[in-house]
A and B are shown apart, each in its own frame.
Chain A
């Protein structure tokens, strides 16, 4: 074996038998597991919703959350633009759009935390005083946790970008992060409709 790299992970043949990149394939499979997780949580939530009063969600602030949803959609746009930038080798635009993504995502999460504090602080909706509340906090909380992980991941990607680890030929990590971020956004849109609007 002519391998000389000291990396622990890089050895062996790079070619893939299916022609798909392993990292990307792995990420898609991971997202499939996430789909199942959120499907289970949403199914559970719908069961709880059905057992709660029809107007159980009237305490939720729809206008604020609608704006917040828009902020999250913007972050999906910026992450797509960051991938497009590095595809053309534009390091500066890559960093800018990643930073914007971090900013939008951070805003979304802050508003969510603010909403939680208000709901629980006023006692209008808590995980323990109603079944709807229990379902609301479980599902949106799990999503919020995913956003939180995404923000850390985004920060790491920015760090790698500033270290110049990406190029027009090598940006798989940006793409994989982008897949995750889009997924989290799509989930939120579904949750927004199911929880706030229905």
Chain B
């Protein structure tokens, strides 16, 4: 058997060489990675259309496009889909594909469990769509009771969908942790690991410790809705704050689940296109772990106005502010990484640079929100909407695209068109800022979130926002066209089109079914630009540079 043969022919296979291999229970991490990415991108389109509907409704005040109840359904599904069926699974997909390759492993630690994780997402996604069709999930993605126990039946389907997605997440996290710990190639010590692997370790730890708490909360919510148990309703002696505590114990760390892999991707992209080693490797790796720990100590900052113990707000304020420090450390390290480099402005690099620029805004507004007195004013306003989109779109989604443009040649063997890529980038970048920057101001001036209409004084800000959202929708078109067209006619990539370090670039594009025909030899971390020759390239040593001829 050669390394490039697909095993199995029925509904259970390993390896992806033809289209049908991608439609079955496939245990190849590369196939599963692509399955995740395609599924997630489909939901990105669905969630995006819902967002366009929101912006269409809000383009003018007193708009009658949708009713209040329909609007609540749309915003709930938009939030839930973008978080649980786009950002999280898209990162899982990208990591599924590249992390085992980067570590020099032939697959994930548990290939069948890996496929199970993916296939749990499918019923999760279908239930989510069913809940939209039936209607009723109208209490926001946060689903605060008592509202979420009075809403119609779609809310139950919504909760069930999240249970499936949660299990998928938990099994995925366990798989990643065992893979990173146990399947590293000889010589790949922990401090030689790519920073994406470190980020995945931190992310997986958060998922492992946080997601089960959400599962528990959802279980109680479902039991209350089906059996009439009174966990969360004050009428029956229950406690609405119990939900908020359990929910945010998971959902604040979930913010880091959505951004840490992005940090990891940025740490991979910048060295390749700056032609420099990453600056401050250990501090970046350590700060990911610090975020994973601190991420669990800040959840109550979502409840500063909820009537929680007033004195407890103080320690939560302090931890919420301190978590800015490890984040800031990364930003400064990336700035130092591009300093004195030889920057190549590929689309991937553009998205990575935009990530730094945009994420800083989201990080800074986060410090405002951490301060209790300021939060009293801005909590539950459009300021929060702006903040979270600067983090999750300006951060996570920009990072995802940076990663997609970097690894697309590895996944497909073809290059993406750079001109269409730049068009995609600029439309996204402009549309994004146009959409979300005005929302800071709307929130500060008194516009609450989750409203289907608003007083006319907010019209101008909302109209700008809606125009920006329209641009963002247009921006997806060149990307889709580019990604599909390049599959057939893109320039052949070869194993290492970017002249990059990293074990994934030592393999053919796409890699053989069983990855490494011979175990790879690891000589250092994947950031040795200017220190070692990139494997597969011929080097003219510069006179007088130490280590140049290594």
- Which candidate, A33-41, A84-92, A96-104, is the interface stretch facing chain B? A33-41
Min CB distance, B351 to chain A, in Å? 32
Complex Cα–Cα for A48 and B234 (A): 11
CB distance B106 to A13 under 8 Å? Answer: yes
Interface residues of B (CB under 8 A from A): 1-3, 7-8, 12-14, 27, 105-107, 109-113, 170, 173-175, 177-178, 181-184, 188, 208-213, 215-217, 219-220, 223-224, 227-231, 236-239, 242, 246, 249, 514-515, 517, 519
With A32-B209, A131-B236 as known contacts, state yes or no: A12 contacts B223, CB within 8 Å.
no
Knowing A1-B514, A26-B178, A138-B219 touch, does A12 contact B107 (C-beta < 8 A)? yes
**Do residues B213 and A17 form an inter-chain contact, with CB atoms below 8 A?**
no
Q: Is the pair B106, A36 in contact by a Cβ cutoff of 8 Å?
A: no
* Chain B: CB-nearest residue to A18: B181
Determine the distance from Cα of A137 to Cα of B228 in the docked complex, in whole angstroms.
12
Contact A34–B1 (Cβ < 8 Å): no
CB-CB under 8 A from A47, the residues of chain B are 239, 242
Q: List chain B residues, Cβ under 8 A from A9.
A: 27, 110-112
With known contacts A17-B184, A138-B219, A40–B212 Cβ distance under 8 A: yes
Neighbour of B237 across the interface among A39, A131, A138, CB < 8 A = A131
Closest CB in chain A relative to B343 CB, distance in Å: 35
Q: Find B212's partner among A1, A4, A37, A137 (CB 8 Å cutoff).
A: A37
Range of interface residues on A (Cβ < 8 Å): 35 or more
Is residue A22 contacting chain B, with contact meaning CB distance below 8 A?
Answer: yes
* B112 neighbours in A (Cβ, 8 Å): 8-9
Min CB distance B373 to A, Å, is: 29
Known: A37-B212, A134-B229. A22 touches B242 (CB 8 A): no
Contact mask A109-138 → B, CB, 8 Å, 1/0? Answer: 000000000000000000110110111011
**B223 in contact with A138 (CB, 8 Å):** yes
Q: Are A37 and B231 in contact (CB under 8 A)?
A: no
Residue of B with least CB distance to A24? B178
User: Which residue of A is nearest B516, CB measured?
Assistant: A12
30 contacts between A and B (CB under 8 A): A1-B514, A6-B7, A8-B111, A9-B110, A9-B111, A12-B106, A12-B183, A16-B182, A20-B182, A25-B182, A33-B170, A33-B209, A36-B208, A37-B212, A39-B213, A41-B216, A44-B217, A47-B242, A48-B237, A51-B239, A128-B227, A130-B237, A131-B230, A131-B231, A131-B236, A133-B229, A134-B229, A134-B230, A138-B219, A142-B219
Cα–Cα, bound, A133→B231 (Å): 10
For B243, give the chain A residue with the smallest CB separation: A44
- Of A17, A52, A131, most buried by chain B (CB within 10 Å of CB) is A17
Q: Which 3 A-B pairs have the closest CB atoms?
A: A12-B106, A134-B229, A37-B212
- Cross-chain contact B1 with A29 (CB below 8 angstroms): no
The answer on a CB contact under 8 Å between B238 and A48 is yes
Which residues on B sit within 8 Å (CB–CB) of A26? 109-110, 113, 174-175, 178
Nearest-neighbour CB distance to chain A for B506, whole angstroms, equals: 16
Bound-complex Cα distance A13 to B257 (A): 30
Q: How many A-B residue pairs have CB under 8 A?
A: 147
Q: Is the CB of A11 within 8 A of B239?
A: no
Interface, chain A (partner B; CB < 8 A): 1, 3-4, 6, 8-9, 11-13, 16-18, 20, 22, 25-26, 29-30, 32-34, 36-37, 39-41, 43-44, 47-48, 51-52, 127-128, 130-131, 133-135, 137-138, 142
Q: Known A33-B211, A128-B228; judge A44-B107 contact (CB<8 A).
A: no
Interface contact B178-A29, CB-CB below 8 Å: yes
Q: Are A40 and B239 in contact (CB under 8 A)?
A: no
Once the chains bind, are A4 and B1 in contact (CB under 8 Å)? yes
Q: Is there contact, CB below 8 Å, between B208 and A33?
A: yes
CB-CB nearest in chain A for B189: A17
**Considering the chains assembled together, what is the distance between the CA atoms of A186 and B12 in angstroms?**
37
Q: B522 → chain A, closest Cβ, in Å?
A: 11
Q: With a CB–CB cut-off of 8 A, which chain A residues contact B188?
A: 17
CA distance A18 to B180 in the complex (A): 10
Known contacts A134-B231, A138-B229: does B1 contact A33 (CB below 8 Å)? no
Complex contacts, B13 vs chain A, CB 8 Å:
8
User: Chain A: which residue is nearest B3 at the CB level?
Assistant: A1
Residue among B12, B175, B231 with the most chain A CB within 10 A? B231
- Of A8, A22, A138, most buried by chain B (CB within 10 Å of CB) is A8
Nearest A residue (CB) for B231: A134
Q: A33-B208, A34-B212 are in contact. Are A134 and B1 (CB under 8 A)?
A: no
B149–chain A nearest beta-carbon distance, Å: 12
Partner of A3, one of B1, B212, B216: B1
Which of A40, A131, A135 has the most C-beta atoms of chain B within 10 angstroms of its own C-beta?
A40
The 8 Å CB contact of A40, one of B8, B110, B246, is: B246
Residues of A contacting B111 with CB < 8 Å?
A: 8-9
Cβ-defined partner of A137 (8 Å) among B170, B229, B238: B229
A12, A133, A137: most-surrounded residue (chain B CB, <10 A): A12
With contacts A134-B231, A138-B229 taken as known, whether A40 is within 8 angstroms of B216 at the C-beta atoms is yes
Q: How many Å lie between the Cα of A34 and that of B209 in the bound state?
A: 9
List 4 other contacts, CB 8 Å, given A33-B211, A40-B217, A134-B236.
A8-B27, A11-B14, A44-B246, A128-B230
